[in-house]
Every structure is written in structure tokens, then in C-alpha cells.
Structure 1
């Protein structure tokens, strides 16, 4: 009996550790456990409990339990948790399933204690009907038999309705079967009349779902009232539409033949209401997630309701929703002319492009700073070489031989060779490795594991089909540096290309050598967490996995064009490639935009925030707002919180980031709010010009210094500040912990800055219960052995660059899934661009840094902007208010 199992108990030779008992009753107990073979992944273990003393009845219970396991093991729907294991220990039987982290609808009703918004309830019902449609088409059909609010969980990660607890589900036998159906009553109040008579078919689940929907929309619990009676929903909730009343009346008919006769029919009517009343459209042709379940907002749809904790709405709508704009169907706008040449240190919103390395600021007491511490999918139309017919036949024969003998790697490199030299190559330029690597070259070799990565690259380059030696060396590298994302990406890529599964390729473009290497390390960490999350969770359709290539431009802005041309060659030779995540700097982004756009390659930047990038290209996207938004936020904070009436504005007129942020701050603070601005110019990277500006400003009365620039340079300001309490404020580029000189520490508490992400923002905003899995995934990825304390940046604590790179990668992969969901077998870069434009409105996604909704110009719409400050002990904190929208 499960009474012998308690927290800490182990099963299967210690593989599963029980965390707690989730519930017990009927024929089983549900246990929450961790699977130590899968890095402590949470699972649900169901244990058979039989109170029958009669041996025959007990054996029947065991047979029923094994039948449940067999039934569930063959269900393959993304909204039903998969069976991952089953076993017997003594006389007890256990089944292991995926754990769906989230809140079930019964818990939600108890928490909110009011009816659910009709729109959100209908979206949830549509998703459950997607599952029921799938179940009804199995041979034989599967009937759940216990649909109720407690068995529908809204997943924390995907915000979708998952159907759980198939404890009394069964695959119905054919009508002419002599085997008598075992009665399964379900839950009183939700179960239809025929189920009490031992008869049920897929239409019975439609009744139970309608009873659940009635409960959600009226907050009337049917378990507290006589069965089979449901008063008119609109009499209990006058805000409901006549259309939903009609659906409930039909689905709750006691006569099974008078109800909807299929899940598809009921879903079609619900989707019609969603389309006509709420501007959401869907396709019910398939029960694969994202096709029949896909919904999208149509033009001029009503504004969707907020999902803050105070709202009585279901947490979010499906991730693959879209809101077409006029640009979606129109001819893409003409590419803007290339921007004028920029200073090499053009801002990106979080660091300068090239500065002299400085000593990092000592770690804050509770925020230590980390030390640097399928089968192959061929092109849809492969153009043959222009040779004689005999040569073409020979080429085809060779290709077939390569496919047979070489597998995935052989195919890829044959196609690459037919186009010329491989675009995946690295060249030493001015002492730095510049180019694109798939693991056959190592970029970040200054770390402790650098030589091991280099050896692994050599092994992989020598023989891509014999990867054991390379994997062994990469394992040794990550055991030395557990947070080296470059090594982890190469390991994961080997797994992807050796798996036999189809895969999609994304290039991560950053700086993973030179004086800005820490930014590149952060970018790779964020991308890797997203890659692992999608691969381990099978989040892409058709078993598609994610492969990341790393593109490095080091400290050389002029290397961007070279690498961008390599990416163009990659597009021409590798049909799995779809786009670029990067660059983090605005100047580098501008240098790449024209080359990539001319070749229809989409790029999504994690941190490039220059105003000049808005509408720069129909193929450019980003997950951070332009500087204008944080300039406005900073101006309001300076005036309303710091009560500053005169501000001294420091900026470099030659730097795109510094100049545009300063202009945006000034326009709001002086032009709109009518306060006074004193300007001081300086040159990025030249401390003497900054010191001179500080000295000059000391003779002018001012309430605040607004420093439009980077962490490396504001250190000079903090070091040279005169005694007193004059505050210093700036933009997101000041949130670069390793960029501060130790001499700035004495005045560090005077600093404030706007930011696009902060690792504690979910807790500060009191959304702790809704925190995404990213935070646990980050610690599991980079601190697998628990050697580093909680709060260690780079190991257990992600900084803003990591978070934003993760969000950018997830946005790109979500768009790829959208393309798959609308029927694209092998989405192209152009397909990805179109899908990115659909991530808006009701189809916005929840990023770690806030809602991500892509506008027609590629900028995020209403993205959250934070204000951070430093206290007297050197700890960074976040103001509890923010600009924009955090929850979607």
C-alpha cells in the first residue's frame, strides 16, 4: 500500500525518489517523484491500490491497471503526459508519467472564486477537444471517462490545457464484442447518465467537458447539486453569449444521440465563436498540436485581457496564435538603405563593442559574479550540376552510395562540397578565431578547459562519424568548467546529428573571443538552455531537434561582413538552416542586416536596442524595445522618484547607442516634461574625456547625472565623483557586472539604470508561483553537481544577457513551430520570417523577460522595462514598478 511510501522513499533501485503524495483514492495513488537518471526531472508515479481481498478480483484490478498502462503508452498527443516507465515491486504495480507543472482548473476556480472569462474558457475547451478528437480516432476509440476541472492542467511553460488522469480510461471494444464492458462511473456531477449504466463512448466525454465548461463559466459546482441538471448558464452569468448557451444545452443533453456526435463537430462550433466574437480563428483538420488546436487573432480583434494575478482569466492563450497585420499579406517593404558607418563601439543595449579590459568589480555578497571562468532532410528542389546526362547519373549513384554509407553527416557534407568550400570554417584574423563552428573549431580557449575543447574539435574534424573521442574530451571539459556553454552546445549538436531525427539549424552570432568574450559566454548560455529545453521536451513537431552553430566575430566589428557572407553560403548549402540569433551589439547588427536581408535570412537580436534598427529591414527582429522606450522610463523615474529637476547628460555623439539613448531621454525629460538638461560630451573608451566632463559638471548645479553609455566608462564617473549623494543613472548597458573597475565601488550605491531583464523580477513582481522552468533549467545545466552556491552568476543565477538570449532563441524556435504547424514540411528562412510576424496579440509568448509580442517593424510591442538600483552594501535591487507589459 502507498501508506508505506512517504517523502524520501525510493523505488526501482533508488532511481525514483518520492517527494510527496499528490492524491489517493479509487484504484490508485499518485506520487510526485524525481528521476535521478534524468537530472532530477519531476515525474508522476501511479501506484495500484487494491482493497479487494478476493484473489480473482485482485487479479482483475491488476489486469485493469496494466490495461491503463497499455492504453496510455500508445497515446501520442502533446497535451497528454507520456508514459515513460512501468514496473512491479513485490505485489505493487507502478506507472511513471511525465509531470505537467501547472495549475489545474479546480485549483484555479478555488483561487479566483469567480467565473472564468468566456474567451479563455472556450480556448481551453478547444484544446481539450483537440485531445478528444485524437482519442476518438484511435482504433479502438479511447474514452477518458473522468473529464472535470481537476483533470485539466494549464501548463506553466506552454500555457496550454493538458488532459491528465486517465485512471478509468479505456479503449472501447467493438460493438459485436462478447466482452462485457466494465462499469466506470466517473465523477458525479460531470459524468453523463449512460456512464452510470456501464455504457460510454466518445460522446460521453463531450458531456463531461460541457459540464466542466458550465462550471468554469458560472462558478456553480455541479457536485453540490442534483446530477444531470444544469440551469441556463446565462441565468448565472449574464455576461455570457447566447452562442455558448446553445453549445452547452446541446452538449449536456441526457440523450447521447442528441448531443454532438463528435469532438470535431463540437470544436468546430466553439472555434466559430472564438473567430466571430473574439477574433480568433483555427483549423480543425488535424488533432496534432498546433493544427487543430492552432488559433490566431484576426484583424481588428478585441484587445485581449491582461493575465495579471488579479484578473479572472485563464493564464494565456496558445503560443502558436497569430495576429496578422497588413504587412503579412502585402509585399515586404523595400529594404532600407544601409546605415552610415558607425563607430566600432556602437551600442547594443548592454556593452560596448571594443574597450580595454578592466578588472571586474568584486562580487556582491549575495550576488557573486561568475569567473570567465534525424534523418537528414534534403532540399525540396535540389538543382543538379550543369553536366552531361551521364555525369548526372553518376552523381546520383554517388549520392545514393553516400546516403547509405555516410548517413546524416555524409549527406550534409556531400551537399556542402557540391556548392564549393564549406561555410562552416574558422580563420585566424588579427589573433582571433573568426567564423562559424559546428564543434570542429573552438573559440573560447582562454578558459581552464580550452585545450580540451581544442582537442575535441580536432577529433571531430578528423572523423565526424567517430564521435566518441570528441564526446569524451567535451565531457572532461565540462567537468572542469560546468558553465562552459560552448562545450555543452557542441556536445548537444553531436547528439542531434547522430540521433537520426530531423533537425533545424540556427546560427548564434556573438563575440566569443576578445575583450567582450563575457557577453558571448552569456549569449551561448541562454541559447543552450533553450536548445536543451526544446530537445529534451520534444517541443518541436515531428520529433525535430535543435542544432546550434556558433558564429564568432570577436572584438572586430569589420569581421561581421565576413561572417555574414558565410551565413549566406550556409543557407545555400544546408536546407536545415533557418535564421540567426544575434548579434548583441547594435553596431554589429547594423553591419550584418544588409547582407542577410538581401538573401532573405531572418535575424533576431537579443539586446541590440538602437533606435536606428526600427524598420531597418523586414528580416530583422528583436526581443528588446528600442532605446526610446527606456529613455522615456528613465526620464519619468528621474523626475518622479528621484525628484530631479536639472540633469547633466553625458553622451558620445559618435556612438549610435549612446547618442540615441541620450536623445530619447532628453526629448522626454526636457521637451515633454519641461525640465532642465545640461550636456557633457565624452568619447567612449577614453577615460580622460570622461574625467574632464565630470570635473566640468561639478561646477554646475545638478540633481542627477544621466550617463548614456557603457559600464566600463561609467566606472570612471563613479571613481571621480565629488563627495556627496549625487545619483548617477543610465541605460541597460550599465548592467554588465564584470565591466566595473574596483575604484568605482565606493560610489556604486549611487547607481541606477534601466534594464530589460533581471533574475529576481518574477519574485519582486510577486509572480513567484508562475516562474518559468528556465530558472531551474539554468541551474541544472551549469551547476549540475551543486558545487556552486545559490546566487552565483554564471552557475545558478542568470544575468540579463543570458535571459534575453534565451528569450530570443525561444522566440525563433516558437516561430519555427508555427511554420511546422501550418503545414510547412521543411520551413525555409522566408517561412520563419512570416511566422515571426505572427507572434503578436493573442499569439504573444511569455518570455522570462516579459511578454514578447512582435510588431510589424520587428520591435517588441509594449515590452517590460525595469529600473534597478544599488544599495549601500553593493546589492542590486529592482524597483517594484515597471513600464510595459510583463505577463501576456
Structure 2
């Protein structure tokens, strides 16, 4: 191929116009400036719609309110996805001509438990799974009425006041757009829980507690709970001891943490119920879970315990503190003298999922110790005392039921799923008595739900999976069924009895 004439070639040294240099410099300056702006801009605090990263002394975390589209933790993705799907179905149906109207229940928990929390990641997931199961059952079944349908919103209340206040602020803002008429769940019995319930009451939002048991919470007019209060748990424990350990002396081990309403009232109520001549020592063995060196403290107390070993120890503390108590107890010098029965409250259900459970099992294997607790719910109770439970109420948790087919790998032993289910079921029962809607544009009278809280009793009692829920004027269930549960040395649990505050669980005549 011939080479083209020289004059036809492009000139390799053609000068670049000056305007291109100027444009390049300007572009570079803009890019650099933009980069600097990006570097100095603070990171966005928005995690999702109605969810914000809120800073506290313990660090920042995303809190707020979601329809399930934003899972607060990876562990909650599956169940949140199911709730989001059901919420969207409810919204679509309500938009149809003659479609069923809906209202929303906000399920509130510290969704991302951290160090020092009494709940575990697993127990939170179980509780939300139970709440979803109830939402699905009341929307798709016919046994609990049909209108209005229920959307389930999920709120992470965090751990600090600023986080809780942000979530409550989102509930206030979304109260009308999302038609929120009730809140359920509510976390555990801490001082912050009391403040949260008070703010919900100010918004005319009825509150349905799932696992909160502190007696002091009975002062809130807008609150009911499906769990037996501490007074009833303590009374049931004394009833059990009167039958099975009538001659044993009892030592009370008491947590003095001022911010924990659960441990405070559990210990005081038990002491009030127990005859004084049953006490091994005139004062409790007192510790403070808000301080360090618990295991060392208990280790130093063991020589005193061996001076006159009790037959029973009533542990008025959280399940997370059990390893620090049981390990020194298992090493006591007098352990060969006699077996000690450790009896505690419902929070022990969290111990199996918390750090240190291997130490608990080892203590039970080698320490001549038996571990029992008064639970809120347990599947073994259904066969132990079948007359106490409505047969239809437990169907979702039996073979072929909604919970067991949807969450095949999750167990019911900690009772959290059952209690989450019962909290939503009781909320929906009250809502459907109160809110009579013909369409989803009709105004809602939220205070009607609060008004009807005291009608859920007697013939109107709710057949819960954890037992019959007949609410008293103080918002607590009357003679709620309380299973006595044993944790074996291999970590398994079993119901050994079903009791109540007077020894006879409530059931309609």
C-alpha cells in the first residue's frame, strides 16, 4: 500500500487551543473543590425513611420506625421481610373498592441488644416472629374477627433516652398517616420503659406489654400486659416451694441495681410472700449488677453461705448474671453436703442464649445444683396442664401451624415468640372491639381503644397461647398461668408444673 503524501498526514504538533487549558484547569479546580466539600460534609444521619442514626454515649445506631423494609439487624431480615410483604398486601387491599380498612400496631423493642442488655439477639427475633404470626393469623383467619386489618410497624427504641425519644417522635408524626392505634412489645422492665409508656399514653396510644413484669408499671392507665406481674411470679414460686421444699431454708440473692424495676420488685415481692421463719438469713445476699466483679463478689460470699447452707436460693436477678453466681456456687466447699435448688424469675429464659451459658451447664453438672424458674410461657406447659389452655390458642405453635411452618429452625423454649404473639393478639382483640371502620379514610377514635382496655376480662378474656388473659383494672392478667421450668445440665428445658399466684391458673368457668 502506497504511503500517503506528506501533506495529507495529520500534523502531530498541532498547537492545543488556549481555551482547552483554561477549561481543564477550571474542571480540576471544581473536582478538587467538590472533593474537599465531600470530605468536610458530615455523614448522613438518615438510615432509611423514618429511621435515623442517633448518637449516644455508647455510640450511634439506627433507630426509628419501619414497615419492615429496613431491618435493624441482619438477624431480623427474614421476619422483617415477611412483615413488609403482609403490610403491603393490607395496603393494596384497603385501596380497593370495598376493600377491608386497616389500622397499625407499632411493635417496640430494643431491636439490637448489646452488652449489658437482658435480651439477646435470638430472643428479640423470636418475639418479632411471634408478633408476625399473630398479625398473619388475625388478617387471614376468621377466629378473631376480620375488620380492621392490621399493619405491623416495627420500632427500635434503642438503649438511651435520645434514641427512644426519636422513635417516639416518629410514632407521633406517623400516628395519623399510618393510622397507629396501639403499641405492643415495649421491651423489658427498666425505668426507661415507664417513661415510654407514659408518652404513648399522652398520644392516646394504648400499650400492650409482652414480657414486662415489674409491679410498678401498674401505675400506667394506658398499659396492659399479657405477662404475669412479679408479684404473681413470686407468689407462684412460694406456692411451689410450700409443696416441694416445705422444710428447706431459703436464701434470697438480690440485685440492688436501681434502674432495674424487674429485679427490684421480684425480690421484694418474694420476701413479702415467704414466711419469715423460712429465711436462712435475716437479710438478702445483695449485689449490684451495674458494677463490675460480680463473680469475685459471689466467690467471696460462698464461705458465709456454707456456714449454714440453705436448701433453696431465690435469685432475684437477671439471667445474664447467673453464670457469675452459679460458677462460684458450684465451687463452694460444702457442695457435697446437700443439693441446692436455685429458683428465679422469668428472665432466666434468656440465659440459654447469653454469654456464659456453658458455665451454667457446667455448674449444674458438677455443683450439686438444680436450676428452676417461673416462666412466662413454655410449650411443655400445654401437655403438663392441658385444662389451663384453650386448644385453638396453641394451634399456630403446633405441628403444621403458622409459626412452625414459617420458622422451622426456631424453638419456643424461651417463651418469647408465644408472648409476642399474645401481646399482638390481645391488642387486636381490643382494637376490633373499639374501632368500627367502614373504610380507611374514616377518622379513628384512638381513645376508644384505651377505653376498652378494661373490658378484656371474664367472658371476654383472650385465649392466649401462654394461658387465658383476663385483665384486671390494674392492667395485669388475673391468675395468669405460670409454668415452673427446669434447666437441665445439658441445657434443655422442661415444664415440671404449672402454677399461678394462688396456685390455680385462671380459666373461664
Residue 658 of structure 1: aligned partner:
263
Distance 1:556 1:607 in 2: 20
Distance 1:570 1:813 in 2: 19
Instruction: Please state how far the C-alpha of 1:719 moved relative to its aligned partner.
Output: 1.5
Q: What is the Cα-based RMSD across aligned positions, in Å?
A: 3.0
Summarize the Cα distance change of 1:746–1:677 in structure 2 as closer, same or farther, 3 Å threshold: farther
Residue 251 of structure 2: aligned partner:
648
Map 1:40-189 → 2, pairs under 5 A: none
Q: Deviations over 1:315-342 (max 9, x none)?
A: xxxxxxxxxxxxxxxxxxxxxxxxxxxx
Match of 2:236 among 633, 641, 654: 633
* Contact 2:413–2:493 (8 Å) recurs in 1: no
Residue 461 of structure 2: aligned partner:
844
Distance 1:757 1:599 in 2: 31
* Contact 1:601–1:829 (8 Å) recurs in 2: yes
Residue 618 of structure 1: aligned partner:
221
* SS of equivalent to 2:253: strand
Distance 1:885 1:860 in 2: 11
Residue 485 of structure 1: aligned partner:
79
Distance 1:851 1:775 in 2: 16
Q: Deviations over 1:647-697 (max 9, x none)?
A: 221122223211111001111114496775441111225562344135314
* SS of equivalent to 1:550: strand
Summarize the Cα distance change of 1:850–1:591 in structure 2 as closer, same or farther, 3 Å threshold: same
Summarize the Cα distance change of 1:851–1:713 in structure 2 as closer, same or farther, 3 Å threshold: same
* Contact 2:225–2:476 (8 Å) recurs in 1: yes
Residue 67 of structure 2: aligned partner:
438
Map 1:443-522 → 2, pairs under 5 A: 443-445=72-74, 447=75, 484-499=78-93, 500=95, 501=99, 502-515=101-114, 516-522=120-126
Q: Deviations over 1:798-833 (max 9, x none)?
A: 631111111110001011111246999754321111
Residue 568 of structure 1: aligned partner:
172
Instruction: Please state how far the C-alpha of 1:640 moved relative to its aligned partner.
Output: 3.1
* Contact 1:561–1:591 (8 Å) recurs in 2: no
Summarize the Cα distance change of 1:778–1:570 in structure 2 as closer, same or farther, 3 Å threshold: farther
2:207 equivalent to 1:603: yes
* Contact 1:632–1:665 (8 Å) recurs in 2: yes
Q: Deviations over 1:511-563 (max 9, x none)?
A: 22132433321221111000010111155656532100000023435522332
Instruction: Please state how far the C-alpha of 1:611 moved relative to its aligned partner.
Output: 1.2
Residue 775 of structure 1: aligned partner:
397
Normalization by structure 1: what TM-score? 0.45
* Contact 2:478–2:506 (8 Å) recurs in 1: no
* Contact 1:507–1:550 (8 Å) recurs in 2: yes
Summarize the Cα distance change of 1:645–1:676 in structure 2 as closer, same or farther, 3 Å threshold: farther
* Contact 1:680–1:697 (8 Å) recurs in 2: no
Instruction: Please state how far the C-alpha of 1:607 moved relative to its aligned partner.
Output: 0.9
Normalization by structure 2: what TM-score? 0.76
* SS of equivalent to 2:123: helix
Match of 1:746 among 355, 362, 376: 362
Residue 679 of structure 1: aligned partner:
284
Q: Deviations over 1:722-746 (max 9, x none)?
A: 2342221110111112025212212
Higher relative CO (Cα under 8 Å, sequence separation at least 6) belongs to 2
Q: Deviations over 1:822-871 (max 9, x none)?
A: 99975432111122221111111211111101111211122112211134
Match of 1:800 among 393, 411, 415: 415
* SS of equivalent to 1:651: strand
* Contact 1:607–1:622 (8 Å) recurs in 2: yes
Summarize the Cα distance change of 1:874–1:524 in structure 2 as closer, same or farther, 3 Å threshold: closer
Summarize the Cα distance change of 1:688–1:542 in structure 2 as closer, same or farther, 3 Å threshold: closer
Instruction: Please state how far the C-alpha of 1:624 moved relative to its aligned partner.
Output: 1.4
Match of 1:688 among 293, 299, 315: 293
Residue 732 of structure 1: aligned partner:
346
Residue 50 of structure 2: aligned partner:
425
5+ long unaligned stretches in structure 2 = 1-45, 115-119
Instruction: Please state how far the C-alpha of 1:609 moved relative to its aligned partner.
Output: 0.7
